Chain A
Amino acid sequence: KAGVTQTPRYLIKTRGQQVTLSCSPISGHRSVSWYQQTPGQGLQFLFEYFSETQRNKGNFPGRFSGRQFSNSRSEMNVSTLELGDSALYLCASSWEGGGQETQYFGPGTRLLVL
């Protein structure tokens, strides 16, 4: 069974631009969670989607948004990029989500904002 895939793997943007990241979960998984990883703040929870609905949200500004499609694929969007948004963005999928079961992570998208 194919693992979690994320595209693109690397991305360079400039301040003020917007970016969309994509995550394809393991087949059959309905939950997709997104995390931001930076050297200073470590790993932080962004949000979780389940059956096309945002089920949980971390403490990030509204510039960070996401959505989930009927095939469970998810996208994350960051608008008006800031230098501090440079990070590794990870998505994870699981059957029922909610953090109550094993999550399977993708390789991440490394975003650099100049």
Chain B
Amino acid sequence: KQEVTQIPAALSVPEGENLVLNCSFTDSAIYNLQWFRQDPGKGLTSLLLIQSSQREQTSGRLNASLDKSSGRSTLYIAASQPGDSATYLCAALGDSNYQLIWGAGTKLIIKP
């Protein structure tokens, strides 16, 4: 049974820092790995989707990597800004049941 873990549960850093959020999964039989952000009182926004055959994806200041063999993905945020404050969730899509299994999220606070 797939389990997705995100560490740390919360992170507070000053503005301008580069930071890394971690996501680990127990079953490497995934179709893709997805990163989302959730703002209070709002739904989720898709950030990056990495296919199982890919190693990384980039969008602006965000870069996500995937290492299936070790069961790990990281989300790198460059030059953090207060607007990046949100909860970041990763989710793994199983390659047999096509259901997203979610991590509990990392609550990120960027201090001005």
Instruction: Please list the residues of chain A having a beta carbon within 8 angstroms of any beta carbon in chain B.
Output: 4, 42-45, 56, 58, 90, 92, 98-108
Contacts and interface: CB of A to CB of B under 8 A. Distances in A.
Given A43-B102, A45-B100, A102 B46 contact: yes
B42 interface: yes
Contacts of B45: 105
B42 A107 contact: yes
24 contacts: A4-B43, A42-B105, A43-B89, A43-B91, A43-B100, A44-B102, A45-B99, A45-B100, A45-B101, A56-B98, A90-B43, A90-B44, A92-B43, A99-B93, A99-B100, A100-B31, A100-B32, A102-B46, A105-B36, A105-B43, A105-B44, A105-B45, A106-B43, A108-B42
A56 B49 contact: no
A4 B43 CA distance: 10
Interface in B57-94: 89, 91, 93
B97 interface: yes
Closest 5 CB pairs of A and B: A105-B43, A43-B102, A105-B44, A99-B93, A102-B46
A43 B100 CA distance: 9
Q: How large is the interface on B (under 10, 10 to 19, 20 to 34, 35 or more residues)?
A: 20 to 34
B36 to A, nearest CB: 8
B104 interface: yes
The dominant DSSP class at the A interface is: loop
Contacts of A103: 46
Contacts of A98: 98
Interface in B36-62: 36, 41-46, 49
Nearest to A42: B104
A90 B32 CA distance: 21
B54 to A, nearest CB: 13
Nearest to A110: B41
Contacts of A45: 99-101
Contact of B93 (A43, A100, A107): A100
